[in-house]
Amino acid sequence: MTRNRLPLFILVLTVVAIVAAIVATSGATKKVPQRTAAAGSAISQSQTPVGKALVDARGRTLYLFAGDKPNVSRLSVAGQAVWPLFTSTTLPMATGGVSAGQIGAINRTKQITFNGHPLYYYVGDHHPGQTAGQGLNEFGARWYVLSSRGAAITSTASSGSASRSGTSPSSGGAAGYGY
């Protein structure tokens, strides 16, 4: 009888070892949270190639769409793939000389507005302060960076300064910030 129990014991021990190995390598590792500010937590101003412009808490440039109406986004769903909405569940803080009284939101979409302009990112901007979307005419109107007064900055960047990573405004952009 001891002979019959030994293979059974080895089989059970082997099964337990395999299960333990699977559990240990199943990806149950704890992910360490990033220690960066939430993009929607603040609106500030920063020096960009086109002048001092509005940026989010991570330094990403914010744009207005000239085709929008005050506090109403007129951008199509297709356009939002290239120009993602700047959204937040709460109103962002105003920092760095930006007026908190100009920050608002469109209730339906939680899109943040500044001086009545719905705010957007451009997927072609890959670095903080980059303005590759400045002056583009896409989805029916022009796109402009905003000043801290809430007005469109219509000037263009000096030659070569709109792109830090080889992405020019006409290239359409590619991967960049995770939205």
> Given strand 117-118, what is the order of strands in its sheet?
103-106, 111-114, 117-118
Indicate whether 21 belongs to any domain.
Answer: no
**19: pLDDT confidence band, cut at 50, 70 and 90?**
low
How confident is the model over 48-98, as pLDDT tens digits? 999 999 999 999 999 999 999 999 999 999 999 999 999 999 999 999 999
Give the H/E segment covering residue 17.
Answer: helix 2-24
Indicate whether 92 belongs to any domain.
Answer: yes
CA 74 to chain centre: 20
Indicate whether 78 belongs to any domain.
Answer: yes
The region, left, alpha or beta by phi > 0 then psi within -120 to 50, assigned to residue 77 is: alpha
The confidence score (pLDDT) of residue 156 equals 84
d(Cα 52, Cα 105) in Å, to the nearest integer? 23
d(Cα 3, Cα 169) in Å, to the nearest integer? 78
CA distances from 159 to 14, 51, 147, 169, 170 (A): 67, 14, 21, 11, 13
Please say whether the beta carbons of 75 and 120 come within 8 A.
yes
Per the structure, the count of domains in the chain is 1
Indicate whether 88 belongs to any domain.
Answer: yes
Q: What is the mean pLDDT of residues 32-39?
A: 46
Indicate whether 124 belongs to any domain.
Answer: yes
The confidence score (pLDDT) of residue 177 equals 40
Q: Assess whether pLDDT exceeds 80 at residue 22.
A: no
Give the other-Cβ count within 10 Å of 36's Cβ.
9
Considering only 53-62, 149-158, 164-173, which range has the smallest mean pLDDT? 164-173
Q: Assess whether pLDDT exceeds 70 at residue 2.
A: no
Indicate whether 26 belongs to any domain.
Answer: no
SS3 166: coil
The structure tokens listed for 107 are: 């209730």
The confidence score (pLDDT) of residue 157 equals 72
Domain holding 60, by residue range, is 41-158
d(Cα 171, Cα 107) in Å, to the nearest integer? 33
Q: Assess whether pLDDT exceeds 70 at residue 159.
A: no
Indicate whether 135 belongs to any domain.
Answer: yes
How confident is the model over 90-144, as pLDDT tens digits? 999 999 999 999 999 999 899 999 999 999 999 999 999 999 999 999 999 999 9
Indicate whether 81 belongs to any domain.
Answer: yes
